[in-house]
Chain A
Amino acid sequence: MEETNKMNETTKKEEQTSTQKIGIYLWIWLLLFVLSFFSYMVDWYQFQGMLRWSLILFFMFLKAGLIMAFFMHLFWERYALVNVLLWPMTAIACFIFLMTAEFKYTLFSRFFYFVVGGA
């Protein structure tokens, strides 16, 4: 008896994970439009410098997060899958971090050695 109850619960849960209420999709959809509009506005108003960078990155990560979490259902997936997908990104993060240092170094040496009065 207990076993069957558990089965039913699981079935419900399983169904929940695969189909959500339509409202949530529509909301996310709307949010994506709004965020894209905002990030377009960053260019429209020609924000520059750190403000531009942080705004661009902020909207980008928010959009990416929404798509992954809700459209790709990662929000409802078990942590085992989520972890497997997100941990490898540390390698990419490390690569990005080091390449930032690398391009600055290359740029510096190029100005220093190739451009009159550079650096």
Chain B
Amino acid sequence: MSDEYDNNKSYQAQSSEVIDGSTGSVNPDIDYVRPAEVGEQDLYHGHSFIEKWVFCQDAKVIGVQYFLTAVFTGIVGLILSWLMRLQLGFPGLAGFMTAEHYYQFVTMHGMIMVVYFLTALFLGGFGNYLIPLMVGARDMVFPYVNMLSFWMFFVAVAVLMASFFVPGGPTGAGWTLYPPQTILEGTPGSGMGILLMLISLSLFVIGFTMGGLNYMITILQARTRGMTLMRMPLTVWGIFTATVLAMLAFPALLVSAIMMTLDKVLQTSFFMPTILKAGEVLEYGGGSPILFQHLFWFFGHPEVYIVALPAFGIVSDLISVHARKNIFGYRMMVWAIVGIGGLSFFVWAHHMYVSGMNPWFGFFFATTTLIIAVPTAMKVYNWILTLWRGNIRINTVMLWCLGFIVTFVNGGITGIFLGNVSVDVPLSDTYFVIAHFHMVMGIAPLMVIMGAVYHWFPLVAGKMLHEGLGKWHFWITFLGAYSIYFPMHYLGFIGVPRRYFEMYDSPYMTSAVGMNEFISIAAFIVGAAQFILVFNIIKTLKTGKKAEQNPWKANSLEWYTSTVPPEHGNFGERLPVVHRWPYDFSVPGAKDDFIPQTTAPSEVIHTEVEKT
């Protein structure tokens, strides 16, 4: 096996191109970086325990707070999914499981996982922790607002959890909350439950807006010297674009929540047509249920990418670092992220092909939806081309990344089925849909989250997670999750409709029984396997190996802080100055196989490819 590649010398390490706006000329000093435009940030350091750990203005602490709260809701969501699978695999085994409860669990599981777990975890958790570190800022630009953002989220979670304990229980309307059934009797939790859900969502949107403004302005206006947009790690690009999407998509959710609250409380008829219920004509008339669906999916589709784009970004970084190779086609990756984000506002009604909307929309939305497949496919190609001719460390982090590629490609391709209007007709509202979105926006982002946890844990806690446990965790999760969702597509082909509490009295569905039992058992195992990580973290914190400053030999700024874990203010006396992109791995001629972003071109001049 030859280890020598014919490195094309015409490619240069992406070092400092000097930006001089006035003339555009190249500054003779190759290490030159423009002077600071913005003064030092005024930071408020907490003085008491409460100011340091509870109402803290340090983005890193806020990030951890977001992370832990989101994980808590995630565990609730996980338990709910166990209960659902218990009913589906072994109907009647759990005596307390009525149809009401089942639908409540379905709804809460969906809403928790999409909004309160994944969105909060990626943007609130990883966003807060990584953005300032990766762009070389001392903190978020508005630390106080950032702190409020977390506590708003915390209250939103509290309100959501409170709905489990009100009379009637939480709402059981399905996470899409389609009216009219959402607020009519006949749906569990149509009283207090749905109100609390709507209030909680509104609070979440308000809280997120506060955080989102921080993430956006920090990335746009508070980067360190030399950190151009095209030198940001893809993690930051992913989180940034997702934040933009969230800032523009959550308004639609807020508006639909407000309108539905009014329909519920004041008997307005925004979404409510004339309705005959229990022999009575209700006090509604003239409204349009489809309007809600449009508003909801105008939010809901970007929401999918709010979850997916940070995952895309993070996984790119992880793959690049652990394959010891620059990310292939960085520019393409950035444009793909931005393009996917932009397009996601023009595809929303592909969730509504069979909703009874104007039938001609099908043509428009099928076309726009399939256009998105192109940048998405490009990202996949670039990930595997990054692996190609790399120097791949097969460690836990890389395993999660590989798992992500498999599940994401699988889920992405089933997305082409569902986006292609007439193919969607037989498959919509069946288990195929469930399999698709769990694969693509459940398991795939989860793989990235896990990879990211193993990757950045040494930075956050200063200790290395146990590799062996990590590998067990990965294999059980990956194989288990794959065997849950891969066969589930076939239930969809049979035509088994989703959201069925019980289904086996249909003659052609009997063959599904065995598969459902199998899926349920796999789900129990996969869920339980997640506690390996919890055990690993506890064990590591107690007895784990201490991490070095930069254990993975990565280039991006978060590993070059003054201390590990980083203190408030991140970088000590002087902010780092950036000279290159974060992917200078295995540059020919360089001493090490990585060149940190802070390394000036003159320090690696002997590589000969360093010319400005």
Contact = CB atoms under 8 A, between A and B. Distances in A.
Contact of A105 (B248, B298, B346, B358): B358
A102 interface: yes
Interface in B259-301: 288, 290, 294, 298
Contact of B360 (A94, A101, A106): A101
Nearest to A94: B346
Contact of A102 (B248, B345, B358): B358
Interface in A77-119: 88, 91, 94-95, 98-99, 101-103, 105-106
B346 A102 contact: no
Nearest to A108: B358
A88 B248 contact: yes
A94 B537 CA distance: 48
A88 B357 CA distance: 25
Interface string B150-163: 00000000000000
A102 B360 contact: no
A6 interface: yes
A33 to B, nearest CB: 31
Nearest to A107: B288
Interface in A35-84: none
A106 to B, nearest CB: 6
Contacts of A103: 288
A91 B357 contact: no
Given A91-B346, A101-B358, A101-B360, A106 B298 contact: no
A98 B294 CA distance: 10
Interface in B238-252: 248
B23 to A, nearest CB: 10
A40 B231 CA distance: 53
A95 B288 CA distance: 16
Given A88-B248, A91-B345, A106 B361 contact: no
Using C-beta atoms within 8 Å of the partner chain, give the interface range for chain B. Answer: 10 to 19
B493 interface: no
A103 B291 CA distance: 9
Interface residues of A, number: 12
B364 interface: yes
Contacts of A95: 294, 298
A116 to B, nearest CB: 16
Contacts of B357: 102, 105
Contacts of B248: 88, 91
A88 B349 CA distance: 18
Interface in A1-49: 6
Contacts of A88: 248, 345
A105 B361 CA distance: 11
B22 interface: yes
A94 B345 contact: yes
A98 B22 contact: no
Nearest to B298: A95
B22 A106 contact: no
Report which residue of A91, A94, A101 has the largest number of chain B beta carbons within 10 angstroms of its beta carbon. Answer: A91
B22 A6 contact: yes
B288 to A, nearest CB: 6
A98 B288 contact: no
A105 B22 CA distance: 56
Nearest to A3: B22
A88 B252 CA distance: 14
Interface in B8-46: 22
A6 B364 CA distance: 52
A77 to B, nearest CB: 14
Contacts of A105: 357-358
A94 B294 CA distance: 12
Contacts of B288: 103, 106
A79 B161 CA distance: 45
Given A95-B298, A106-B288, A101 B345 contact: no
A98 B22 CA distance: 45
A102 B294 contact: yes
27 contacts: A6-B22, A88-B248, A88-B345, A91-B248, A91-B345, A91-B346, A94-B345, A94-B346, A95-B294, A95-B298, A98-B294, A98-B349, A98-B361, A98-B364, A99-B294, A101-B358, A101-B360, A101-B361, A102-B290, A102-B294, A102-B357, A102-B358, A102-B361, A103-B288, A105-B357, A105-B358, A106-B288
Interface of B: 22, 248, 288, 290, 294, 298, 345-346, 349, 357-358, 360-361, 364
Given A6-B22, A102-B357, 4 more contacts: A91-B248, A91-B345, A94-B346, A103-B288
